[in-house]
Chains A and B, each alone.
Chain A
Amino acid sequence: MNKTPLLFLNVIIIATCGLIYELLAATVSSYVLGDSVTQFSLVIGIYLSAMGVGSWLSGFLDNNLAKRFVEIELAVAVVGGFSAPLLFLTFANVSYFNIILYAMVFVIGALVGLEIPLLMRILKDEIDFKNLVARVLALDYAGALVASLLFPIFLVPKLGLTRTSLIFGLLNAGVGLWGTWLLENLIKPRDTNILRVKGFIIAVLLIIAFIKADALTSLAEDALFVDNIIYAKSSSYQRIVVTKGKTGYSLFLNGNLQFNTFDEYRYHEALVHPAFAVHDGNPKRILVLGGGDGLAVREILKYPSVETVTLVDLDPEMTKVSKSVPVLGELNKHSLEDSRVSVINNDAFVWLDSAETEPFDVAIVDFPDPNNFALGKLYTTRFYNLLKKKLKPDSAVVIQTTSPLMARKSFWCIVKTLEASGFSVKPYNTTVPSFGVWGYALAKLQPFETPSKLPENVELKYLNEKTLSSMFEFSADTNLPNEEIEINRLDNQALVRYYESEWRRFE
């Protein structure tokens, strides 16, 4: 049988795979690192030059070309096939991600660069040179077209990056395995068997990874990158990522969703306005702890009585991003640039412990959920006692208190801790579709009534008086559980432990 046509089929597959890996690497890097023009340009440049290196290296291979070809296919199957999952994992876990990315692009490029020259040399005895070059190159470029059409239209939307990568790895492994039959008479029988075993193992591994891809992706990709990344930056404290998707823009800190433009107004109106509603006078001095996205401040500045807003957020990068990334600045109505607002970048715990300030009328406490000890300290009796020193007897405080549905004990632990610190507390909750059922605690240093009236002249998209009073009702699955709940103190960090065990159920 003339096997040559089948070998030409290989060319088109190889070419498709090669371009897919290149596209994958460029997409992953622009997803996670942002700035897609630079990433695409760099990846394509490195990839093409590495292909050149591979072609050049092929000149040094003299013997056992068929065997080498199969080995290279298998190598591409491993490196290329696992490239996307590996990149996501390294992105989530190491700081020198760029180096790994570019090194990987280079290796794949060099291996792919070896493929075509080798194949051409294998085929040169079967077919005359003129036709060989014409057909191989034509098919090579045709493969590129197939890849570039498949990738955006079918692969990314239907399979996702991880599965695409694994599928094409499998194709490469297939070409390798198949090659052991096609080129059987060019490979020593003993080598053939070894190659087949290797190819088989690699194929099985890729298949397992493909089946388990859900678990792999949920480690990073699904959580972070279902949408396009428009901004990404690692500060000394966290990784800040802004994405754009069908429902709007989202902000992620260390992979945790902070808001989505589609429903963030629900979250922020519910956060800010009840506290203003229970303040008896006209609040002038406002303290915001956390909330570096400027969205709570946007709500605060709706009140004409407000004279100063002091915002304390750990991360200078976060407050800078909120001003400088256009979509964020638009969303927070440039609140952080308002002359009434002063931004302090410090750990709120350290700031409360050391800063000398006049007391505040309203304090909005909007920290990330207590998923580590450094955050857990911001929910302790000590913290609330420090906060008390910055308040007046009639000040109002509100605290975001995670989900009473997903983390019921954590929610009530914060409420209890506030009470133990001498606050009178009214917990409430609402629905923010991006988050689910979300909780807050309204607190004052003296007993107070749940708010029933909203201020006039403040434009609201979500809250009205009916929703306001309904927020203070808790359903049977979110109300205070019938078991002992510890108070969160610096020396027990009970909350972090509750939170860990409750959210772990959903991981």
Chain B
Amino acid sequence: MKFTRREILTAFLGLPFALSACRSKSENTEVAGEIVGANVNVGHILREMRNVEVPPNNWENVKVAIIGGGAAGLAAAYKLNKENFGDFVLLELENKIGGTAQSGESNVVPYPWGAHYLPVPFQENTELIALLDEMNLTEGRDVKGELVVKEQFLCREPEERVFYKGRWYEGLYLHVGENEEEKRQFAEFQKQVDFWVNWRDATGRRAFVLPVANCSRDAEVLALDKISFGDWLRQKGFTSERLFWYCDYATRDDYGLKLDQTSAWAGLFYFCSRVRKSGEESQPFITFPEGNGRFVNFLHSKIKDKTRMKTVALEIIPTEKGVDVIYLNTETNEIRGLHCEKTIFAAPIFTAKYLIRDFKTNPPEFVKEFEHNAWFVANLFLKDRPKNRFPRDFPLAWDNVLYESPSLGYVNSTHQKGIDYGAAVFTYYYPMCAEENARAKLFALNHKELADIILTDLSRAHPTIRELTEKIDVMRWGHAMISPRTNFLWSTARDKAQKPFRNIHFAHSDLSGIALFEEAFYHGIRVANEILPG
């Protein structure tokens, strides 16, 4: 089925804007670039390749197989390697390591394809801090024992700006034109956040902290998971449009969900989990031009010889002695098998029902609770950065947000390198927010159509963007992130999924219900510890 330009722009950018964009005769010219990402259709392979036989000579013995080279799988591998447990292999289906934290390289700067920052962890997150120390990102500890990260790795100011009605303003929350009532509500919202920042349960646990596993399970907090963040705001009497926008931006940005799709627990988690004490600023961000690509590439560098790229696990078969893993090398089309003692399952949880033999016929209830939403991410290679139209416009920041757009705007990769002139790479994010048929809608579009959506969207703020863009590459994340919608996080699904199934241990960040590097790392390390002898 083919759509007209107007239909596509309406579907992605909304009707009024699409109409004006189509009227303004902005040329829908072809821009160079391609759709990137796994060149194999994994779903297709898994459906086609049922009951494959491994040629007898293609079996090997290895103690542990890790399925998936995202942050979680890599963290597990890194931990095993660190503890001198060398008998493992890691299977990754793509030709790039890192999963949703992968990155790319250009001759200007490297750039992210997904995850792009990590807030400085609290001192209690010792395992993650050890990684940051090892990566030489840290300077030491302050008097209270909190981590001090080197200046050049902390997000450089200006961090955020927002485009609203033709002008750029500093920050993310829109202060310009705010009336007294809106000011009051914003302050009141901060108070609510402070309440939960300071909240402790009977055993002294925080309501919201990273990793999620350390959050309190007190009924008062868990009740928040039963309503949407939007309902929670309304129940508290909030009405300010700009406050709703701010919270909606937060949930779209972190979870790929709209305000009314997100659980209030997850919404508050976003605002509270990175604030040490009420009144303090949220933890600063650690970031790199390539985003979290820096982390996964570092982890990978430690275990490179044990990774097998372009390999898809086809079937995981629990046996008497352990687990058999059958995989396909998508380059050579060779089918191989691994006799293992244990397997670490670090692929998205919903794929378990296609991979684990026992689940294929009889999938456990909890698997279908793990729902993902679709995103697309584009990298725009610009020969020069767009100039501000008005002298008083706030200058280009790291994160550049368009108030009136359903996209999240773009992150400027040259920012953290201190490059302020000339060529740049902008990473554009668009969450499809658990729309019906989002995935089908996304995959129905070709490169030209996607590029047109992106350029039309950005042209609100940057009328010259088409002339400046030399190339656009687009990544379609069909299953980008787990959705922390209401009644998922604190149902029993996550607890159940975390338990090993026979000799299969699950590690994907999905298990936290919240897609964050810290969570992926936590589960990777946790599972490695489960497996390590002693």
Contact = CB atoms under 8 A, between A and B. Distances in A.
Interface of A: 92-93, 95, 236-237, 314, 347, 349-350, 353, 372-374, 376-377, 380-382, 385, 489-493
A350 B418 contact: yes
B119 interface: no
Contact of B421 (A236, A353, A382): A236
Contacts of B421: 236-237, 314, 347, 374
Contacts of A381: 151
A350 B151 contact: no
24 contacts: A93-B391, A236-B384, A236-B421, A236-B422, A347-B420, A347-B421, A349-B418, A353-B417, A373-B157, A373-B158, A374-B395, A374-B421, A381-B151, A382-B152, A385-B151, A489-B151, A490-B151, A490-B154, A490-B156, A490-B157, A490-B418, A491-B157, A491-B284, A493-B157
B155 interface: yes
B419 interface: yes
Contacts of B157: 373, 376, 490-493
B152, B156, B157, B395 interface centre (most CB from chain A within 10 Å): B157
A486 to B, nearest CB: 12
Contact of B417 (A236, A350, A374, A493): A350
A353 B156 CA distance: 15
Closest 5 A/B residue pairs (Cβ): A374-B420, A493-B157, A491-B154, A349-B418, A490-B156
Interface string B57-86: 000000000000000000000000000000
Contacts of B158: 373, 493
Given A373-B395, A381-B151, A491 B420 contact: no
Contact of B151 (A95, A353, A376, A382): A382
A340 B418 CA distance: 29
Contacts of B384: 236
A380 B419 CA distance: 15
A492 B422 CA distance: 24
Contacts of B391: 92-93
Interface string B411-450: 0000001111110000000000000000000000000000
Given A93-B390, A236-B422, A373-B395, 7 more contacts: A353-B418, A372-B395, A373-B157, A374-B421, A377-B420, A490-B156, A491-B151
Interface in B79-126: none
Given A372-B395, A373-B395, A347 B418 contact: yes
Interface in B145-175: 151-152, 154-158
Contacts of A236: 384, 421-422
A354 to B, nearest CB: 9
Contacts of B420: 347, 373-374, 377
A437 B158 CA distance: 30
Interface string B377-400: 000000010010011000100000
A372 B393 CA distance: 12
Nearest to A421: B151
Nearest to B285: A491
Nearest to A95: B387
Contacts of A489: 151, 154
A377 B422 contact: no
Contacts of B387: 95
Contacts of B418: 347, 349-350, 353, 377, 490
Interface in B279-309: 284
Contacts of B390: 93
Nearest to A374: B420
A374 B397 CA distance: 11
A382 B284 CA distance: 16
B340 to A, nearest CB: 45
Contacts of A93: 390-391
A312 to B, nearest CB: 14
Interface of B: 151-152, 154-158, 284, 384, 387, 390-391, 395, 417-422
B66 to A, nearest CB: 35
A382 B417 CA distance: 12
B395 A350 contact: no
A237 B391 CA distance: 15
B156 A377 contact: yes
Nearest to B156: A490
A93 B389 CA distance: 8
A52 B156 CA distance: 58
Nearest to B395: A373
Contacts of B284: 491
Nearest to B422: A236
A380 B384 CA distance: 25
A314 B155 CA distance: 23
A420 to B, nearest CB: 10
Interface centre among B154, B284, B420 (most CB of A within 10 A): B420
- Candidate in A95, A347, A349, A490 with the most chain B CB atoms within 10 angstroms: A490
A88 to B, nearest CB: 14
Which of the listed residues A93, A347, A381 has the most CB atoms from chain B within 10 Å of its own CB? A347
A350 B422 CA distance: 13
Given A347-B418, A377-B418, A490 B152 contact: yes
A349 B414 CA distance: 13
A93 B391 CA distance: 7
Contacts of B417: 350, 353
B204 to A, nearest CB: 31
A49 B267 CA distance: 67
A237 B385 CA distance: 12
Contacts of A385: 151
Contacts of B152: 382, 490
Contacts of B419: 347, 350
Given A347-B420, A353-B418, A491-B156, A380 B395 contact: no
A182 to B, nearest CB: 45
A381 B154 CA distance: 13
Contacts of A374: 395, 420-421
A380 B422 contact: no
Nearest to A489: B151
Contacts of A491: 151, 154-157, 284
B160 to A, nearest CB: 13
A372 B419 CA distance: 14
A90 to B, nearest CB: 12
A237 to B, nearest CB: 6
Nearest to B418: A349
Contacts of B422: 236
Contacts of A372: 395
A218 to B, nearest CB: 14
Contacts of A347: 418-421
Contacts of A380: 151
Contacts of A492: 157
A490 B420 CA distance: 13
Nearest to A93: B391
Contacts of B155: 491
Nearest to A315: B421
A353 B153 CA distance: 13
B274 to A, nearest CB: 15
B243 to A, nearest CB: 26
B456 to A, nearest CB: 24
B263 to A, nearest CB: 32
A408 B421 CA distance: 29
Contacts of A349: 418
Nearest to B384: A236
A348 to B, nearest CB: 10
A385 B139 CA distance: 13
Nearest to B155: A491
B19 to A, nearest CB: 29
A376 B418 CA distance: 11
A385 B150 CA distance: 11
B171 to A, nearest CB: 13
Nearest to B390: A93
Nearest to B415: A373
Nearest to A386: B152
A381 B391 CA distance: 28
Nearest to B149: A491
